[in-house]
């Protein structure tokens, strides 16, 4: 079994990005600048945003963190998005999700200038991704493609099962795995209403689990020799940890590792790659790679 090491791969890519930034700055160019907007104090979001800011430092980017309390109005948040859209010093920005219930996430996402939407959540970027045009691609699926590429996992013509149909992971992942220029695979998407879920999973050469249910994928659902990608990062209570919790993937790692040809661990698999791909999108924003 090959352990697909997302942490080491992400570290290598961040070094590559930092080298490119040094080149840009050496030639008199500007450091890429990412802004992140964080609303409230959700523990998961705080950790993600902190890690995004640290990744910016590692890549030689400028970063700005803008914080609001939970009771920020949608109007105030939309005004912040408008300011960031207009700020030439900021190449790209994200609004960390989820947002409080009184704010429409969709309205906020659609207010972001798609040319600065380094999360790749704006409908323009989602649409361009779906038809194979240059654009910002959502970081988690992009990170998974990059892991498959760097670990030389053959995807063309293979059966790929995507478990989950979220806008952030499942849908873009399925779309990318299907497209000739990315995965070129035969893709099945499974979700909470799917029939014969176990049998469908067992047909997969590449199984990508993104449903947010700890340990959902058991050994009986994995074909011997399959490549298993675990996107789950659910916090489960664990009194033995200082933090009081541990991260649990969607895959029963201990049981599946002896069956799979390759597998991503949690933590240290897809998670670090996601942040790293946000950095790659920010580098592209700084270089005006997709949009001028």
Residues labelled as active-site residues: 52, 96, 119
Q: Rounded distance, CA 193 to CA 203, Å?
A: 18
User: Omega into 98 within 30° of 0, i.e. cis?
Assistant: yes
Specify the residue for token string 């919790």: 245
- Taking a C-beta distance cutoff of 8 angstroms, is the pair 216, 228 a contact? no
Kind and range of the H or E element at 143?
helix 139-150
Read off the tokens for 144: 């998974």
Nearer to ligand GUN, 78 or 97 (CB): 97
- Taking a C-beta distance cutoff of 8 angstroms, is the pair 164, 231 a contact? yes
Q: Residue 38's Cα: distance from chain center in Å?
A: 17
Residues at the interface with ligand GUN (CB under 6 A): 94-97, 119, 139, 168
Specify the residue for token string 């469908």: 200
Give residue number: closest CB to ligand GUN.
Answer: 97
Least distance from ligand GUN to the Cβ atom of residue 245, Å: 17
Least distance from ligand GUN to the Cβ atom of residue 61, Å: 16
Least distance from ligand GUN to the Cβ atom of residue 119, Å: 5
Least distance from ligand GUN to the Cβ atom of residue 98, Å: 7
């Amino acid at each position: 079994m090959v352990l697909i090491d997302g942490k080491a791969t992400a570290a290598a890519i961040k070094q590559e990005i930092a080298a490119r930034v040094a080149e840009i700055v050496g030639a008199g160019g500007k450091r890429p600048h990412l802004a992140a907007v964080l609303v409230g104090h959700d523990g998961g979001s705080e950790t993600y945003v902190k890690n995004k800011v640290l990744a910016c430092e590692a890549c030689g980017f400028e970063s700005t963190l803008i914080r609001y309390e939970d009771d920020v109005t949608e109007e105030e948040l939309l005004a912040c998005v408008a300011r960031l859209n207009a700020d030439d010093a900021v190449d790209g920005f994200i609004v960390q999700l989820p947002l409080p219930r009184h704010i429409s996430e969709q309205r906020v996402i659609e207010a972001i200038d798609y040319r600065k939407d380094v999360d790749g959540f704006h409908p323009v970027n989602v649409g361009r991704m779906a038809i194979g045009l240059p654009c910002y691609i959502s970081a988690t699926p992009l990170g998974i493609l990059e892991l498959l590429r760097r670990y030389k996992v053959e995807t063309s013509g293979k059966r790929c099962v995507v478990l989950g149909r979220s806008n952030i992971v499942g849908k873009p992942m399925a779309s990318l795995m299907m497209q000739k220029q990315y995965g070129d695979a035969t893709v099945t998407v499974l979700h909470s209403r799917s029939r014969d879920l176990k049998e469908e999973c067992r047909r997969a050469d590449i199984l990508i689990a993104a449903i947010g249910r700890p340990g959902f994928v058991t050994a009986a659902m994995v074909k011997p020799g399959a490549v298993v990608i675990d996107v789950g990062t659910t916090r489960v209570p664990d009194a033995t940890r200082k933090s009081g919790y541990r991260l649990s993937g969607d895959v029963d790692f201990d049981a599946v590792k002896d069956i799979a040809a390759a597998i991503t661990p949690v933590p240290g698999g897809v998670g670090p790659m996601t942040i790293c791909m946000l950095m790659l999108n920010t580098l592209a924003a700084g270089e005006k790679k997709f949009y001028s």
